[in-house]
Amino acid sequence: MKQKNKGGVQARQQAAGWAFLTPATLLIFLMSFYPMVQAFITSLKTGSSANLQWAEPLFNNYSRMFQDRMFKTAMGNTFLYLIIQVPIMLVLAILLAQLLNNKDLKFRGLFRTMIFLPCATALVSYAIIFKTLFATQGLINSWLVGIGIVKENINWLGQPGTAKAVIIIALLWRWTGYNMVFFLAGLQNIDYSVYEAANIDGASGWQTFWSITVPLLKPVIVMTGIMSINGTLQLFDESVNLTNGGPANTTITMSHYIYNNSLGQGVANFGYASALAFVVFILVAVLAWINMKVGDTRD
C-alpha cells in the first residue's frame, strides 16, 4: 500500500514538473529554435522580400561570402574588437572586483555603484556622449593638447585606427562594471578563512590571487567570457551610433552589415542577410563551446 502511495506521489510530481516546463519549452521553441530554422531556410533563398525564391545553386548565399570584401572587413573588425576588448575588460573587471571586495575599504557601495552605472546608460545616449567627447574640437582633444601630449587636435572618428580605438574604449567603459558585478558575487561566495589560511602560510597578495581567487572564480570567468564573446560578435550599437561604420566602412561590424543588407540601406536582401546571421550564430556557438571546454576542469 505504501509503495502504491509512493508511486502515486512520484507520478503527480512528474506531472506537475511537466506542467511547469511545457509552457517555457514551447516559448523557447517558438521564440528561439523556430526562428533559427526559418532563418536557415531563408538563407537558401534569393530575391527581394516580396519575391523570395530558392537560390541556384542552393548554397549560393554562403559561397558569395567568400567573394564579399565588405563581409571580410566586417568579420575582421568584429574579431579585432573581440581579441582586444574582451580580455582587457575581463581583467579589469576581476581586478576591480577584488579591490572592491575588501571589507576594510570605505565607501565600497558608492564605488561599486559608480563603476556599474555605465551599463545602465541608454546605448544611444552614451554613444552621443562619446561622439561629443572624441569630436575634433571635443573635450578629449582639449585635454591632450592642454597637457602637451599632442600638438594638434586628433580626428578620432575620421581615421580607421583611432575610430576603432574609440569603439573599444566605449565598450570597456560600458561593460567592465557589468562583468565586475558577477566577479563580486563570485568573490563573496569564497570563504574568507581560505585567505586567512594563505596569509598564515606566508602567501603574497599575487600568489593568493593567482592560486586561490582565479581557480575558485573559474566558473564565473567562463560565464562572463561566453557572454562577452557572444555580445561582441553581435556588436551593433557602437558601430551604428558612434561611427556609422565609417570612415568608409572601416569600422563596420557583422551585425551592422547584416542590418544594412536587410533593412539599413533599403536593399531588403533577406536571403543573404539570413546567411550572414546564421554564420554569426555558428561562430557564437563554436566559441562558446571552446570556452566551456577550456574552462571545464572536471575529470
Give the N- to C-terminal CA distance of the chain in Å, as an integer.
43
Classify residue 271 by burial, with Cβ atoms within 10 Å: 0-12, 13-18, 19+. Answer: buried
Three-state DSSP state, 161:
helix
Question: For the chain, what percent of residues have pLDDT higher than 90?
Answer: 18
Q: Is the pLDDT of residue 266 over 70?
A: no
Where is 14: in which H helix or E strand?
Answer: helix 2-28
Report domain extents, the chain.
68-295
Residue 54 β-bridge partners: 45
Cβ-Cβ contacts under 8 Å for 58 (sequence gap 6 or more)? 44
Nearest to 238 by CA among 180, 172, 179: 172
Cβ-Cβ contacts under 8 Å for 116 (sequence gap 6 or more)? 177, 178, 180, 181
Residue 53 β-bridge partners: 46
Classify residue 230 by burial, with Cβ atoms within 10 Å: 0-12, 13-18, 19+. Answer: middle
Secondary structure E strands in the chain? 45-46, 53-54
The CATH number of 68-295 is which of 1.10.3720.10, 3.30.360.10, 3.40.50.2020, 3.40.50.11310? 1.10.3720.10
Report the predicted TM-score, pTM, of the whole model to 2 decimal places.
Answer: 0.84
pLDDT tens-place string over residues 58-101: 888 888 888 889 999 999 999 999 999 999 999 999 999 988 88
Three-state DSSP state, 65:
helix
In the prediction, which pLDDT does 298 show?
54
49: pLDDT confidence band, cut at 50, 70 and 90? low
Q: Which of 24-38, 77-91, 263-277 has the lowest mean pLDDT?
A: 263-277
In the prediction, which pLDDT does 172 show?
93
Mean pLDDT over residues 267-272, rounded? 80
Give the Cβ contact number of residue 211 at 10 Å. 13
| CB distance 254 to 75 below 8 Å | yes
Mean pLDDT over residues 104-115, rounded? 85
Residues 209 and 222: their CA atoms lie apart, in Å, by 17
